[in-house]
Chains A and B, each alone.
Chain A
Amino acid sequence: MSPVVLNTIEVILNGLMTGVMYSLVALGFVLIFKASGIFNYAQGVLALFAALTLVGFQTGQVPFAHVINATFGTDYHHWGEGMNTVLAILLTMAVMVLLAWLVERLVLRHLVNQEPIILFMATIGLAFFLEGLGDLMWGANIKVLDVGLPSGGSFWWEDVTRTWAAEGTEYWGMYIDVLDVWAAGIAVVLVVVLTLFSQYTETGRALRAVADDHQAALTVGISLRTIWVVVWSIAGFVALVAGIMWGAKSGVQFSLSLIALKALPVLILGGFTSIPGAIVGGLIIGVGEKLFEFAIGPMIGGATENWFAYVLALFFLMFRPQGLFGERIIERV
């Protein structure tokens, strides 16, 4: 094979890996949107908050250390050596469930039957609040998140692909980050588990029922409040997974919350109500932006990854506003 073909394959592979990461974030949006019609602007911040909390537990940080020290003149920073990663992940999950419960109790409950735009505004408020809370609790410095997943380029893959190149050409093999491969694998498992859960369990059916028809769900005995806590907990869980992956890749920093913006074109492509849509949308955006940068980027000065996804989304809005897999929007007059 000629190096150009091999390079293209490499770009596509890396695009797929990036796409999986976008899908992970988009998935959290879809879950909440399907069940309650709320576009949860805070999903990105949820991922950030989960990652911050996880690092905090792992390294044994004292929450609110700055506040405590400033108020009482003390000098606490760590309460010990930290804890085992698995335990820290479980504890972080517990925090996310608690957060879901608080969101229902303090925000959603008071906004029942309000316009979607009002709920959307509430989630913007929630996003800012959580960002501030994360800062107060764990500090604003960039943190390293290490959950024990391998990372760095795969030499094995480099060696294998080097042999594919045609005789006499200069080719040094493909670069693939092992962490990206792990992230893709975990995302696949997550989606399969979520699908099985929603298909074959009572709570899964209740979730789908609420997503389908609130009134009918009430008449068969489903408590909407309970379901919302469950949905937000699951979204928190997805955010935790996304936070771990992004955090491990690029460090836990506050710009992490901005990946939520990248999820928006993914959702427009895939449709706001479709889980497969979120996956496929993420992959298309990931591959699309990498390929575009590779093929067209050099001609127009590069840095196309910053805007390509949004322009693609704009085209989709013109021709297929419900996305690839979304429910067709039919408004009766």
Chain B
Amino acid sequence: MADIWDGMRAAFWLIVQLDADLMEITLRSLHVSLTALLIACLIALPAGTWLAVRRFRFRRAAIATLNAFMGLPPVVVGLIVYLLLSRDGPFGVFGLLFTPTAMIIAQVIIITPLVMSITHQAMRELWSEYHDLLISLNTSRSQRVRTLLWDGRRALLTAALAGFGRAIGEVGAIMIVGGNIDHVTRVLTTAIALETSKGDFALALGLGFVLIGLSLVISFLTHSLSQTERSGRW
């Protein structure tokens, strides 16, 4: 119990003093996770919607596979990306291993199925509502996808937030491909793992509270910017 108090105190002082190292790793966490989220959304939102409106032969198998990939073990993704980016691996010439880019690549692979699956679930409901209308208006497939994306934007926000949550709290993959190098690839989660391994639970917990706080701030910001949960709105 004392450790938890120490952790809260550590978190408080870290934030109040605007600790330079804390700012740096927090910004790097945000940079990596938000970039990964942006790329994942660019892929997953249209693809998930497309999956909802399109009927094809292996649709059921595709959706089942997608849902299974939501639980892709990060540490395995990390290991595979590591082997691909290692100098011995097929993409070794780019020298991307142990850079933030490598961390972004791993996170894109981890969160894209998640965002895509949630998008697909939401869009399937919406499509059953819009189906007759959009068909009768003789819309093209890309028009349908765009209409659904726009009208379902609030559900997509949830999908994006879920993806962000998974990315910012992830440690297994980015530890392997990033290497937790101080001032280069150290982020909040890998710093927590490091401090825990040193037995410095107070600092580790302090960083943990900062991480949780960060998620809260991001969530509140997106909700207030998109003006959800206001009177007169759904």
Q: Answer yes or no: are A and B bound together in one complex.
A: no
Chain A residues close to B by CB (< 8 Å): none
